[in-house]
């Protein structure tokens, strides 16, 4: 298993990988090495066929405060930083081919919030807060926030959250569909592992195709959506999991999907 300096990678339960941003003294703020390690960890999780679900979280009292602003901001090369570090990390997560869960244990701000949004599910501690942050330092949203936030909460709410940079707590996040579930802080890990346990035995190929179809559907007309269904159903229908699903249905038992 790869060794990392800024993140932790472990396997807390069968089929589950956990990636932990590990700069707790800086609220897990991003540096370039941390971003590269994250991208690498997502590629490692994708390549490991025993991993069926990935949890992303932060060490200590926060999820991630976004870019480390204490680093040399005067000389920031935004285009290079975004293209060479943020883009590969977000695309590696999108290309995981298996479900991802952001376990949000405190503040998720700026591109740290973008990372949580890029996961398929978000489970937040009661004390979590989502802070878009970018407008606070006169920047535009990045690391995919401009794509994911309006899809999750709608255009009007996304615009309000970004413009006013108002922290959104766990209860509000749940009520607007920003998170899947909330849990008391001391039960966050157990709640997330139980949720991950539900995803370990899903038909992963169908999941990955469905994810891609749903994300693309906003840019398609009905005919285009039907076309991607026609393209992907034969792929899902050719999996061993489809045959297992049919057998299990006929035998009146729960299916044992292998993700193949």
Binding site for ligand T3D (CB under 6 A): 26-27, 29, 65-70, 76, 78, 81-82, 107, 109-111, 131, 133-134, 136-137, 139, 142
Least Å distance between CB 131 and ligand T3D? Answer: 4
Q: Minimum distance from CB of 6 to ligand T3D (Å)? A: 14
Minimum distance from residue 256 beta carbon to ligand T3D (Å): 42
Considering the complex, state which of residue 109 and residue 179 has its C-beta at the smaller distance from ligand T3D: 109
Cβ proximity to ligand T3D: between 60 and 197 the closer is 60
Q: Least CB distance from residue 133 to ligand T3D, whole Å?
A: 4
Q: Which is nearer to ligand T3D, 133 or 196 (CB)?
A: 133
Nearer to ligand T3D, 81 or 197 (CB): 81
Question: Least separation, in Å, of the C-beta of 62 and ligand T3D?
Answer: 6
- Of 46 and 61, which has the nearer Cβ to ligand T3D? 61
Q: Are 136 and 163 in contact (CB under 8 A)?
A: no
CB of 142 to ligand T3D, least distance (A): 5
Q: Which is nearer to ligand T3D, 16 or 113 (CB)?
A: 113
Q: 253: Cβ–Cβ under 8 A, 6 or more apart, which residues?
A: none
């Amino acid at each position: 298993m790869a060794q990392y300096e800024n993140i932790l990678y472990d396997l807390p339960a069968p089929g589950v990988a956990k990636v932990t941003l590990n700069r707790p003294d800086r609220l897990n703020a991003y540096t370039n090495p941390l971003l590269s390690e994250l991208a690498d960890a997502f590629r490692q999780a994708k390549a490991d066929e025993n991993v069926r679900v990935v949890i992303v979280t932060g060490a200590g009292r926060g999820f991630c405060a976004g870019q480390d602003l204490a680093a040399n901001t005067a000389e920031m090369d935004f285009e290079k930083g975004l293209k060479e570090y943020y883009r590969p990390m977000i695309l590696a997560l999108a290309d995981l081919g298996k479900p991802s869960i952001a376990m949000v244990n405190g503040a998720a701000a700026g591109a740290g919030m973008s990372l949580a949004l890029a996961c398929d599910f978000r489970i937040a501690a009661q004390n979590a807060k989502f802070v878009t942050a970018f407008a606070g330092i006169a920047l535009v949203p990045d690391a995919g926030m401009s794509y994911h936030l309006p899809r999750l909460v709608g255009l009007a709410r996304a615009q309000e959250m970004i413009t006013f940079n108002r922290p959104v707590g766990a209860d509000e996040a749940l009520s607007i569909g920003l998170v899947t579930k909330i849990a008391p802080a001391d039960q966050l890990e157990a709640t997330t592992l139980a949720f991950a346990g539900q995803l370990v035995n899903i038909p992963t190929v169908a999941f990955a195709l469905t994810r891609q179809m749903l994300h693309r559907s906003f840019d398609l007309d009905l005919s285009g959506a039907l076309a991607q269904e026609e393209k992907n159903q034969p792929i899902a229908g050719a999996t061993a999991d489809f045959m297992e699903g049919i057998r299990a249905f006929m035998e009146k038992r729960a299916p044992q999907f292998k993700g193949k």
